[in-house]
Every structure is written in C-alpha cells, then in structure tokens.
Amino acid sequence: MDIDDILREFEESSTNELQASTSNICQELITVVTNERMAPELLPYKASLMNSILTHISNQQQYLLDSHEYGEMNSANGVISSDFKLQLMIVETDVERLSYIVRLYLRTRLSKINKFTIFYINKSNREDDGGGDLLSAEEKEYIHQYYSLLTSLYNNCFLKKLPQILTFLDDSSGGQNMVVAPDLDQFVFVKCTSEASILLHLEDDELELVKNGVYVI
C-alpha cells in the first residue's frame, strides 16, 4: 500500500463517519437535550443513545490520535496535504461539540436530581421494583451518595439539636410534605416536529399542533 492509498483510506473513513454517523446521532442528542431542559421533571435516561454517542466520541478520539501520529511521522516528507489537516480539524471540532452537548445533558439532569433528591430516590426505588429506567446506574449511585452527604450535613448543623420526630427529611405528617417535587403544572414550550398534525386534548379544550409550530402549554 503506497502513500496515496493510505491517505485515501483516512479520507474515506473520516468522510463516512462525519456524513453517516455524526449527523443523525448529533441531531437525536440535541433533541434529547432540548426536551430535558424544557421539561420541569426528570425524563427517562437515554441509555442506548448515550452509549452510541460515547462510543462514537471514543472512536473519533482514537482516529485523531492515529492520524496525528501518522502526520508527525510523515510531515517532514511533505506527504501530508492541507485537506488532510483540514479534515482533522473538522473531526476535532465535531468531538468538542458532541462532548459539550453530552456535558450539558448530564448537568441538566444533575441539577434536577440535586433539587428533588428525595423525590427521585423514592421514585427510583419504586421503579427498580418494576424495572424502570428513569436514572442511569451512575445517577443512582450519585443520588444516594449525595443524599448521604446532605443528611450528614443537616444532622451536624442543626437536626441533632431537634427532637427526633422532627428530623425526618421525608416527613409528610401534619398536612405538610417535606419532599420537594417538580411542578408539573408549570408552562412548557412545545415544538411539533411531526409531519402530520397532532390533536392535544387539554382539560377544557383541544389544541391542534402543526409541524414547526411552537406553543406554550
């Protein structure tokens, strides 16, 4: 295999990855992140999509390492074209963009977990019995560790000075629930992406959602 064949193999592999994989995966990820940020409650974790995204990022990072190593070996010989370097820059930009969106997705979910910790611990425990998939394995580990630290902090600061009956963070006696839950009655933005219109049944009315229409509901 000569130099031209090696360069052509690099170019074809990067082009195929960018056109076939990145576009579809990235668009699906953006939709998932948008839905998560717009929803007041925690949405089910997209395990299959996240596995695909992380695998794709890992493959692209390995491709960059191999390509840079190949470029360093052959740059002195003048066989590395400007197009090849440009392709590497495009792949690097794509990896950085996907990594940012992944971090945004996880941070959005963590902010809800931190805000409604006890609520989602209870919900996760109920769904574990029925095979639910609201939280990922890492999120389940995080939420229990976070709750343990939070409980320890509250106990050391002030709960230990109160009567034991007043120290329960999930107490619902006396008509006052201590568990903070997401407000599912707040308004949300909805964008319809379906080709066919969707008829949404509200409490006292009906609303027809058409493609590319944006609604506050």
- Amino acid (1-letter code) at residue 111: S
Locate 144 and state its tokens.
Answer: 């229990």
Q: Three-class SS of residue 27?
A: helix
Whether 38 and 93 map to the same domain: the answer is yes
Whether 9 and 103 map to the same domain: the answer is yes
Whether 71 and 126 map to the same domain: the answer is no
Domain that holds residue 122: 118-180
pLDDT at 81: 61
Whether 105 and 125 map to the same domain: the answer is no
Interacting residues of 112 by C-beta distance below 8 A, sequence separation 6+: 41, 42, 120, 182
How many structural domains compose the chain?
3
Whether 92 and 171 map to the same domain: the answer is no
Sequential pLDDT tens for the chain (217 residues): 555 565 556 556 555 555 555 678 888 999 999 999 999 999 999 999 999 999 989 998 888 888 776 665 555 555 556 677 778 888 889 899 999 999 999 999 999 999 999 999 988 887 665 445 899 999 999 999 999 998 888 888 888 888 777 777 777 776 677 888 999 988 988 899 899 999 998 888 899 999 999 999 8
Residue 150 CA from chain centroid, whole number? 24
pLDDT at 50: 94
Whether 78 and 122 map to the same domain: the answer is no
pTM higher than 0.85, yes or no? no
Whether 109 and 24 map to the same domain: the answer is yes
Whether 8 and 111 map to the same domain: the answer is yes
Locate 152 and state its tokens.
Answer: 């320890």
Whether 13 and 87 map to the same domain: the answer is yes
Query: Is there a contact between 180 and 116 (Cβ–Cβ < 8 Å)?
Result: yes
Q: H or E element: which one contains 35?
A: helix 23-38
Query: Is there a contact between 46 and 135 (Cβ–Cβ < 8 Å)?
Result: no
Q: What is the CATH number of the domain that holds 78?
A: 1.20.58.1030
pLDDT at 131: 44
Whether 92 and 172 map to the same domain: the answer is no
Whether 31 and 70 map to the same domain: the answer is yes
What does the radius of gyration of the chain's CA atoms come to, in whole angstroms? 25
Whether 104 and 62 map to the same domain: the answer is yes
